[in-house]
Structure 1
């Protein structure tokens, strides 16, 4: 079976193009995030896996819950996903849509993992430095992992900058034993 992100990519691109053409990017983003959140719920996952439920009933369920965020285009999109039994791919579709949206807005999502909680002032300086370095707006996603001992690991797209003490110790050990 194909990987879910491969299945989601064309749907995400179609949603993004429709949203861009109709100048409704924020509304589509909100709709896809709400739909993604709904599709991740354990009860809904079981519902989507139930072969006895018709696609029409499942569509009605999604449509009723997401009614506040739905217009004609989003209703058709949801109907298409339902008919193709792809509602379970909504989280990956939302993620793909957000990547297209970020690329359009020239925003890079940067994941920063530190050993301890870091002050906002440091994160602001880091954000400014990264913005200058990669020449794009930066959206920081901060996490804490005490196993790093100290320092930080920064993920920018598929690049990783490992400035953690754990990483340095691992590299030192590899150089001594290698």
Structure 2
């Protein structure tokens, strides 16, 4: 892919690229994206699953068995389930969030979209996400997919990253700017 040069340079990027190519060749890209979104949500919501993916104390076999059980309970497609097993066997489960992010970027580029990483102090509603997408689409001139994260330290507002551009309208940054202006 033309936009994947930077992504392929990292370990997580190589795994994401391999998974993306497999999904594309098997015409299962939408299903793969849905499965990875489910995995990402499980990582965010389950402390046990997150601990499984980040703990170096879990043996390869135990991690592979646990991941197979998680894949079954989440009703993931067979390719994603096998991929998680490969990650467990290769002791790369800790790279899962980065792999999912790189996969989403590859899929978005394949669709001609730009991916925006958006951090907010509080979870955004569906209407807010759609309004944000529309504003970004107007500003950039391309369709935008949004990767949401919640960062309570922002206090309010948003931080949006698109490629090398960053739009920071957080209260935290405004307060820091005000503090610096008052110093001198």
Q: Same fold (TM over 0.5)?
A: yes
Q: CA RMSD in A?
A: 4.0
Alignment partner, residue 57 of structure 1:
62
Please report how far the alpha carbon of residue 23 of structure 1 lies from its aligned counterpart in structure 2 after TM superposition.
Answer: 1.4
Please report how far the alpha carbon of residue 10 of structure 1 lies from its aligned counterpart in structure 2 after TM superposition.
Answer: 0.5
Are 1:23 and 2:21 counterparts? no
Once residues 56 and 86 of structure 1 are traced to their aligned partners in structure 2, the CA distance between those partners, rounded to angstroms, is 13
Once residues 34 and 164 of structure 1 are traced to their aligned partners in structure 2, the CA distance between those partners, rounded to angstroms, is 28
Could you list the runs of 5+ residues in structure 2 that have no partner in the other structure? 1-8
Residue 12 of structure 1, aligned match among 16, 20, 33 = 16
Once residues 146 and 81 of structure 1 are traced to their aligned partners in structure 2, the CA distance between those partners, rounded to angstroms, is 33
Q: Bigger relative contact order, structure 1 or 2, given CA contacts below 8 A and separation 6+? A: 1
Alignment partner, residue 170 of structure 1:
177
Q: 1:62 to 1:107 in 2, by over 3 A?
A: same
Are 1:109 and 2:116 counterparts? yes
The equivalences for 1:125-164 within 5 A come to 127-139=133-145, 141=148, 154-162=160-168
Please report how far the alpha carbon of residue 64 of structure 1 lies from its aligned counterpart in structure 2 after TM superposition.
Answer: 1.8
Are 1:77 and 2:89 counterparts? no
Please report how far the alpha carbon of residue 17 of structure 1 lies from its aligned counterpart in structure 2 after TM superposition.
Answer: 1.0
Give TM-score, length-normalised by structure 2: 0.64
Aligned residues: 165
For 1:107-127, what per-residue CA distance to the aligned partner results, in whole angstroms no more than 9, with x for missing partners? 43253759xx99x58x73x64
Give TM-score, length-normalised by structure 1: 0.65
Once residues 39 and 110 of structure 1 are traced to their aligned partners in structure 2, the CA distance between those partners, rounded to angstroms, is 17
